[in-house]
Structure 1
Amino acid sequence: MRFLVRVVVNAFAIWIVTLIPVLQVDVTPFAPGGDLQLVLTLLAVAAIFAVVNTVIGTVIKIVAFPLYILTLGLISLLINGFLLWLTAAITSGWSWGLDVHHFWWGVVAALLIGLINGVFGMILRPQKKKR
């Protein structure tokens, strides 16, 4: 259930980022190109992004642990941008998916996606019961 909520929040965050024209991050929907196809494309891209972030992101974060300490965590911006760019590269093999025009726009988009995920994570976090 948490994975589905995470995918939906990621899809919403990716959609918000693609609405900003300066960022040069686009989503190409499935073949007919209607609203339903856009939503399904965003959900598919968000699911791929979640899997990439879980599998490859974890390995990169373990290997780059000394860089996290050296840069006081700022390397995570580059790693998250790389993971978003990698998701765009994976989905660009088909005729639909995410398109990041430049790596640095991916870094900015990943920062915004992280902020949106953080806000929704605080809102949707289950509350502990007070005794």
Structure 2
Amino acid sequence: MQLLIRLIINGVAIWLAAAWVDKIDIISPSDQGTGAKIVVVLVVAAVFTVVNALVKPIVKLLSLPLVIVTVGLFLLVINALMLWLTAEITEAFSDYGLRVEGFWAAVLGGIIVSIVNWVLGILVPDGDD
């Protein structure tokens, strides 16, 4: 159940980033309606979750000196790269998915996704209580 909640939170965060940033789009079949767009958002959120679980720790470890020198600001670049990598993966395997056009759009989208994940993570209980 916890995994499903995290997946929905990631989906909401990515959907808000696509809604607020001009150069981030969610590409879905337009003739299928809202249900198809929700499925595409959930698939993108699943890919984003896998990328964050597998790739992000390795990138953070390898870039630890840069994170230390920049007092953590390089983590924004890492978040942007994870969002950009998610877009590249989803676009490579199908006609639908996430499209990020440019590095600065990825940085702004990464900031939005991080903030939304943080806020919704606080509002939704862990289940450890």
TM-score (norm 1): 0.90
**What are the Cα deviations for residues 57-86 of structure 1, in whole angstroms up to 9, with x where unaligned?**
010011111211111110000000001001
Assess if the C-alpha contact under 8 Å between 1:23 and 1:109 holds in 2: no
**What are the Cα deviations for residues 62-114 of structure 1, in whole angstroms up to 9, with x where unaligned?**
11112111111100000000010010001112100000011110110010010
Unaligned runs of 5+ in 1: none
Partner SS state of residue 75, structure 2 = helix
Matches within 5 A, 1:1-131: 1-20=1-20, 22-30=21-29, 32-93=31-92, 94-126=94-126
Which is further off, 1-10 or 77-86?
A: 1-10
Pairwise CA distance, 1:31: 7.2
Assess if the C-alpha contact under 8 Å between 1:23 and 1:108 holds in 2: no
Partner SS state of residue 25, structure 2 = strand
**Higher-Rg member (1/2):** 1
Unaligned runs of 5+ in 2: none
Partner SS state of residue 33, structure 1 = coil
* Distance 1:33-1:128 versus aligned 2 partners, 3 A rule: closer
Pairwise CA distance, 1:127: 7.5
Pairwise CA distance, 1:23: 3.0
Structure 2 Cα separation of the partners of residues 3 and 59 of structure 1: 22
Which is further off, 110-119 or 25-34?
A: 25-34
Assess if the C-alpha contact under 8 Å between 1:77 and 1:110 holds in 2: yes
Partner SS state of residue 81, structure 1 = helix
**What are the Cα deviations for residues 17-56 of structure 1, in whole angstroms up to 9, with x where unaligned?**
2112x43100011474310000000000000001001100
Pairwise CA distance, 1:2: 2.4
Partner SS state of residue 23, structure 1 = coil
RMSD: 1.7
Partner SS state of residue 114, structure 1 = helix
Structure 1 Cα separation of the partners of residues 35 and 52 of structure 2: 25
Aligned amino acid, residue 13 of structure 2: A
Assess if the C-alpha contact under 8 Å between 2:10 and 2:113 holds in 1: yes
Runs of 4+ that moved beyond 6 A: none
Identity, % of aligned positions: 34
Assess if the C-alpha contact under 8 Å between 2:2 and 2:126 holds in 1: no
Structure 2 Cα separation of the partners of residues 31 and 125 of structure 1: 35
